[in-house]
Structure 1
Amino acid sequence: MMDSALMLDVDAIRAQFPILGRELHDGKPLVYLDNAATTQTPEPVLEAWNDYFRRYNANIHRGLHTLADEATAAFEQARDTVREFLNAARVEEIIFTRGTTEAINLVANTWGRANLREGDEVMISAMEHHSNIVPWQMLATSLGITVKVIPVDQRGVLDMQAYQALFTERTRLVAVTHVSNALGTINPIREMADIAHDHGALILVDGAQAVAHARVDVTEMDVDFYAFSGHKIYGPTGIGALYGRYELLDAMPPWQGGGEMISRVSFDDGTTFAAPPHKFEAGTPAIAEAVALDRAIRWLTSLHFDLVSDWEQRLLTHATERMQSIDGLSIIGQAPEKCGVISFVVEGAHSQDIGLLIDQFGVAIRTGHHCAQPLLRSFGLDATCRASFGVYNTLEEVDAFVDALERVLAMVR
């Protein structure tokens, strides 16, 4: 049987990313392995962005002229593209946000403040990004709720027995990442959703690290909220989306007030609010960003997710095998189900030094705590180096990264 990854034309994909042709530091080709932080942007997405500003730049909704009609149609088409991408039941279940962080804060400050009471519990995991920790801690301070933490073992796998045991009659919400940005661990979301629902709780999923690497189906996973960011999926910064079950969104109060999110405003009778999703989209939205996100999603899905996943697993396997041969190097997080992220530390070498020096060889990786300080502390660490892969990376780039890493370590140890 033919290896399906061989059917992915990585050279043709790379040709669509102008930035990948850059050379750094005296002619060294760029090897970009910081995809968990931000993916690069292909030409079709750049063209969609430019086309908006060149041809139909206008404010959306309520305008009667041609440009406003065209901009509105493109914006709402982007919403439907996200709906189809996530397999949501209704287009009204898709809210545009500035990204995953704003989406989680929206749920915390609307559903959370309307439904949580002192003594209620929100459950998160030890592997969460700060954006899925801090909003709940802020609610704990202001509302008196309790934030419970699902432990993670030394492989970087959630303790599912502990997860089940943490539920009480006061547990109202589970807020968990689909894929860990620091470890690459893929969490069993459908199983977690079933357990949460069995206990009468809702589940919110941070999908920032999942959407670019595997097919996401919010209906099949039976989640109540799902959030992601455009810049993690070959799109622009400043745009993302929140999926929410319509009956939940309809009952939630708005978060921000302003234009577009109203039905009627009166000094005498007060304000009545629009229906979802517009109730949660006050003011002029990121129109160009939504148009570009639409194109990014269409571009990525045209590659077929099974091929993308297979290729990225090959990159991960090859990098892991080569890195395991380096003396003193420890890979942090070796879950059986894992996306293309490798966090590592090297005995006798500071992560920041490695990151700075490997950049001189044209290799871009991320160092630090990755906005996951509690997780790293559970491993006894303050920082790691992180290499993360995208669909345009190659086996040759993996080799260039490992070769550069070995040269850097020879310098610092």
Structure 2
Amino acid sequence: MSSEIDSSTLLSRASQLIDLARKAGADAADAVVVRSRSQSVSVRLGKVEGTESSESDDFSLRVFIGKRVASVSANPGFDLQALAERAVAMAKVSPEDPFACLADEASLSKSYPDLQLLDTTEVSSEMLREASLAAEAAALAVKGVTNSSGAGASAGMGGLVLVTSHGFEGSYMASRFGHSVSVIAGEGTGMERDYDFDSRLYYAELDDPAEIGRRAGERVIKRINPRQVPTGKDVTVIFDPRVARGFVGHIAGAINGAAVARKSSFLRDKMGQQVLKSGLSITDDPLIVRGPSSRPFDGEGVSGERLVMIEDGVLKHWFLSTSTARELGLETNGRGVRGGTSVSPSSTNLALEPGDIAPEDLIRSVGNGFYVTELIGHGVNMITGEYSRGATGFWIENGELTFPVSEVTIASNLKEMFMRLTPANDIDRKFGVAAPTFAIEGMTLAGR
């Protein structure tokens, strides 16, 4: 394990690559190694279906000559000088990019905290197999569950090594462990499927596999014999936390600086204006100790800080990397992420902050409405905000969850949905995007 975690050799090779790129004619450069180690086991009906193990250290070199930039990638064992010379040759014939550059030296992280992202627990394939079997067995033991779609367990780690020509050098690793199971209830055309899972940085903090299996089984039997409901144009829809997290992802996409620069966000002209109901806030914090998406520095060597992206309903920040910030006439806020040979902005530990009402009381306050547990399709237009998704869940009648519902569509516009959102107090921050149960009034539901 220690040899897998030690990044000194990779830092040395990255530094050599930078020196060679400068000697070959680059004005500036950065070298990145994206590290990955993983193993997983999948089972179905008590038998192992697959075992996978992988590891990689993927190098990327980015060089700048004036306003021209080029990037190349390679696996370990490549010829350093040949790669550096190739990158410089490519940059010389590349079109100019007025916004591509390294992060300003003044914004580089000089030191960064230990965020406790790495759990060095050794997890064997046998442990993964046993966890998968236990989750599936517990799910199948729930009365009414008729079949399994499979269960799995995984363990791995990933990280970043970054060296720049203007003085930054750093690396970090983060671990990740997971258990999951998916099962079926009912027969023939009446079959329904559901699942449950858990994912953590620290192995000891994972939910017990049998508990995950039991939850999956209980979820799926509640979905048997669903009905359609009549079409309505002023329906209150409550989003289960599982789907609420995806909805918050739409908010993140709308305040991503890259989308704003491309004019592909419906919030592109809303900086400083109210975009959520008063009292609501969206936070993003890369420096949470043991946070699921924490990082001591971003893909450009800049340390981010906690930001209230939307405060009391008012939009305060975009997610910004250096080049995106330049294009918008702003400064990076340390949200740059390496994606292959490019850098683009993204969120870290993102949260729709909770309200002060219990989810049960929120459901009770609705009277009649629709509680969504799963969304289908990709009917979201981020340019206009138009929202239309297939949905399944449960009908709310007299403040109680009653019968299962499927084959309906919910629709509105995200601008209106944001302004009608009421969150409960049940936020779970173990995921990179965290959200409580919430209600949205005035949606259209297309049923029978």
Structures share fold, TM-score greater than 0.5: no
The alignment's TM-score, normalised by the length of structure 2, stands at 0.23
Greater relative contact order (CA < 8 Å, ≥ 6 in sequence): 1
- TM-score for both structures, normalised by structure 1: 0.25
Larger radius of gyration: 2
Higher strand share: 2
User: Which structure carries more helix by proportion?
Assistant: 1
